[in-house]
Chains A and B, each alone.
Chain A
Amino acid sequence: MNDILVYCEVNDNREFAEVSLELCSKARKLADELKVQVDALVLCDDLNGAENQLFQYGVDRVILATSNHLFPYRTLPHFSILVNVVKQYNPQILLLGATHIGRDLAPRVASRLSCGLTADCTNLEVGSYTDAKKGKEYSQLLYQIRPAFGGNIVATIVNPETRPQMATVREGVMKKEVYNIEYKGVVEKIDPQLYLNDEDLAVEIINREVEAHSINIKNAQIIVSGGYGVGSKENFSLLHKYASLIGGEVGATRAAVDAGFTEPQRQIGQTGVTVRPKLYVACGISGAVQHCAGMAESAKIISINTDPSAPINAMADYVIVGDVTSVLEKLIKCYSACQK
């Protein structure tokens, strides 16, 4: 049977991207359901055996190509090899992280293979599908589930005819789980020179500057998050003040990021990061489904909103009806008082 292939991304420190490990875990579950194997494609210069780390997440076979042309990432060499690996191995499903790299690579590959691709899935399942027009039944298709434009709706997308069924998933959406620490698969080395040609080297990297400190909200236990309703960049500083006081990080909705209130790295939701903190303080957030998809699993949710009927209030443990700045100022005062 045709396997599930995960494109495993390697970061600047030659470590696997978290999202790739999460996808291996998800692929394992799907593979068990479909009774097939999990393959992982790794393209890098030299990993020193780090590829063996993938087996514990349930990978059966690592397909490894090493070449100086493959690190750091450039579109065309990775594209050529991935396309050829798909042609050779015929996977039924191909998963990539919805990172800058995955979102650069996946569409080009889908276009070359004339395959369907669904971006930013929030869930993947296996199920059947009936094409009413053609009167045709399909079983064991990949359900690619994602919130869709138009408000509180979730669409299930399928690719009945084309293979592989391709999807990208944001970091944090799936859970990274060790399948079996003793699990062992095989490493199959392929020769990248078989697939690369001069045209694949048309883009040259002149300079790369990687920042050491990036904002990391994914693992924060407390998140104070702001939406468009916070009103301004200045008001956002109050969120920072409260967050640092209670030991948390600041998150944001897409609307707040688009309005320039804060950095894109803080965006939570379908097109941002998915978080599962023990406390989520939603400030001036109405609760679009794209945002809720990224924070619904928070243990405790507090919503601060002037609108008592804001959709997010339905999922909140505590609803404070009031102006964000005045409520936050009082919360800062209350917490400081309790510390004394």
Chain B
Amino acid sequence: MSLKIVVLAKQVPDTRNVGKEAMRTDGTINRGALAAVFNPEDLNALEMALSIKDLCNAEVHVLTMGPPRAAEIVREAIFRGADSGAVISDSRFAGSDTLATSYALSMAIKKLGTVDLVLCGRQAIDGDTAQVGPQVAEKLNIPQITYAEEALEVTPNTVVVKRRLENGIEVVKTTLPALITVQSSAKSCRFRNALRVMKYKYATSLHEGRFENVSTIFKSKDYLQIEEWNAEDINANPQRLGLLGSPTKVKNIESMVLAQKESQMLSNSEEDLMTLTKDLMDTHILS
């Protein structure tokens, strides 16, 4: 008996450190200038999967949805210990909101057959909606445990999870299959394994565009092929994908106009700061 675990991971622009080079002169961010990274909480989810694999017989598969270059995410997960992975990529996925995204992901999970556990990060740093995890759980009709910190006990039929409440913690037990969303306070992901890096260094997908001679690579070492699935491969109904399958529409986007005030400029001198402190006390803002 082996547990089949799927980790959902997303490649995201690194919105955590928006440097000056990524700022346009009009104050907006140039997304293209931001590094593409493994969504941080998805790494926590990967670690939870690998920790379970350390303790019992389990296989860990990684699924990511995105452009072909998202194969980087699968490769990175394999370097760290995942057994295999696939990129779900199709131009018809473009413009998907969380509903369409969760539909595509759930169809890809179904392609893997009977799955015991689906793990993903609580939310992605480029959208912060935290919606995709629970929506995938609903589409698979399995229980969900959100805000998880640790899997305390795993048996072939159940899992016991410690999860974060807004003002405390809760330990819950669920039957399997189930979906767990993992948050950043969970254990950080282990580093790459050197032997795995050597073995899978040239792993790529058909359209990632890393090498010209991919077919030769795949012919000699088939384990280097990262699978790529399009809408047909996952049996998806095109009406439920991309913009077509997304009930939310963006009506408009505006620049944020913050209330501008006439600011008083002060220097870092004790004199200026004393004047400020006295002003605040005179106006009873400070007492």
Contact = CB atoms under 8 A, between A and B. Distances in A.
Contact of B15 (A118, A149, A320): A149
Number of chain B interface residues as a range: 35 or more
Contacts, number: 248
A110 B259 CA distance: 35
B264 interface: yes
Contacts of A234: none
A150 B273 contact: no
Contact of A116 (B164, B247, B277): B247
Interface in A229-254: 246-247
Contacts of B168: 208-211
B57 to A, nearest CB: 24
Contacts of B213: none
Interface of B is mostly: mixed
B216 interface: no
Interface in B268-287: 268, 270, 272-274, 276-278, 280-281, 285-287
Interface in B173-194: 173-175, 178, 184
Contacts of B263: 303, 313-314, 316-319
Contacts of B18: 288
A327 B248 contact: no
Interface in B97-113: 97-99, 102
Number of chain A interface residues as a range: 35 or more
A107 B131 contact: yes
A141 to B, nearest CB: 8
Contact of A118 (B167, B248, B252, B268): B248
B29 A327 contact: no
Contact of B28 (A120, A150, A222): A150
Interface in A94-149: 99-101, 103-108, 110-112, 114-120, 129, 131, 143-144, 147-149
Given A104-B146, A154-B256, A129 B277 contact: no
B253 A117 contact: no
A206 B259 contact: no
B7 interface: no
Nearest to B247: A116
Given A107-B134, A153-B253, A158-B248, A300 B285 contact: yes
Contacts of A157: 248-251
B139 A75 contact: no
A322 B99 contact: no
A222 B38 CA distance: 38
B143 A203 contact: yes
B247 A322 contact: no
B16 interface: yes
A153 B174 contact: no
Given A203-B145, A292-B256, A330-B273, A323 B268 contact: yes
A152 B253 CA distance: 10
A45 interface: no
Nearest to B174: A203
A128 B174 CA distance: 44
Interface stretch (A26-34, A52-60, A159-167, A177-185): A159-167
Nearest to B27: A152
Interface stretch (A63-71, A187-195, A332-340): A332-340
A116 B246 contact: yes
17 contacts: A75-B143, A79-B138, A103-B131, A107-B130, A107-B134, A111-B134, A116-B248, A120-B128, A131-B249, A153-B255, A209-B170, A315-B258, A319-B266, A321-B265, A331-B277, A333-B270, A334-B277
